[in-house]
Every structure is written in C-alpha cells, then in structure tokens.
C-alpha cells in the first residue's frame, strides 16, 4: 500500500447500489475513495471496471471479500485501523475496543479512524460496533446505513 494517497489525481466511476449511485476513485493503480454520490466525471479504467463488477457482486450477495488494491487516505494510524477492518469477515462484527487492543491504543481514536475511512463498504467500517451498541457511521444515511449493510451481510443477529 502506498505511503499516502491523493484523491486529487484520481479518476472516478459511478457505481449503482441499493443506496443510490456511488463513486469509486482510483489513483496510481489503487482504489482511494468510495463516496455516497455518483462521480462528477466518469473516467473508467480496468481497475475501476473491476471495482464496479466486484461491487455488483457484493450487492447481489455473490462476493464476500473484495480483492482490489487499496490506498486509503489518512495517517499511518488510520491506515493501520483500515488494515484491521479488512480482517473482519463478511457478516461478522468486532468492537472499536477489539481493534484498539490489537493496535495497543484506545477505542476513541479507533472510532475516529473508522469515521475517516475513505473507502467505506470495501474497507468494512460498518462491521465495527461500540461495546454497548452500534456506534456511529459517517457514511451517508448514518446508523441506518450501517444497519442496512450489516443486514445485507447477514450480520443482523449482532444487532439484537
């Protein structure tokens, strides 16, 4: 994973989803962002077409784990949190505290790093819960979107 990504040089493509159009951005051969709106300027590439196909498979229930080169934004700690989130299996959850223990830190900075995830869904921040509830979700639609993604993955028993 590159040291730091910049979305400024990125090309983007619009991807349909059950939540409306999303945009996926690529820079220097890595996915760097997923945003909750369509791309302003669609400029495809083989990587973006692959990401679009994998998103379609994810939303149809065929894909359980994305296989894309990723370069999330943020500092080193934020990227470490993203790497930890990538290890959470489809349909399962963990807590901010679980990730904090892995990284020898506290839950609050982990929560902030989850909230700053530049590649939601693909890097599954929706699978990270508070120790006593859902926690937040910085994506469009807030906690309702988090619940919808967990239900999509069959993770809804964790919500009861």
Known catalytic residues are 125
What DSSP character marks residue 41? S
User: What are the structure tokens assigned to 159, written together?
Assistant: 């919500």
* Paired residues of 123 in beta bridges: 120
Give the whole-angstrom CA distance, residue 118 versus residue 126.
Answer: 13
The span from the first CA to the last CA of the chain, in angstroms, equals: 36
Residue 28: name the closest of 52, 46, 2 by CA.
2
Nearest to 100 by CA among 135, 66, 65: 135
Judge whether 78 and 114 are in contact, CB under 8 Å.
no
CA atoms within 13 A on the CB side of 103: 24
**DSSP code at position 7:** G
């Amino acid at each position: 994973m590159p040291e730091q990504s910049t979305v400024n040089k990125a090309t983007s493509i619009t991807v349909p989803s059950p939540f409306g159009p999303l945009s996926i951005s690529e820079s220097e051969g890595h996915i760097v962002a997923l945003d909750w709106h369509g791309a302003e300027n669609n400029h495809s590439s083989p990587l973006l077409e692959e990401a679009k196909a994998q998103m379609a498979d994810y939303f149809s229930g065929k894909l359980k784990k994305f296989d894309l080169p990723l370069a999330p934004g943020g500092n080193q700690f934020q990227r470490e949190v993203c790497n930890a989130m990538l290890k959470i299996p489809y349909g399962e959850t963990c807590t901010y505290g679980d990730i904090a223990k892995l990284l020898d830190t506290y839950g609050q900075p982990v929560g902030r790093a989850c909230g700053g995830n530049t590649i939601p869904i693909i890097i599954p921040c929706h699978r990270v819960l508070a120790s006593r509830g859902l926690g937040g979700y910085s994506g469009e639609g807030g906690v309702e979107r988090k619940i919808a993604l967990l239900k999509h993955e069959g993770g809804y028993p964790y919500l009861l």
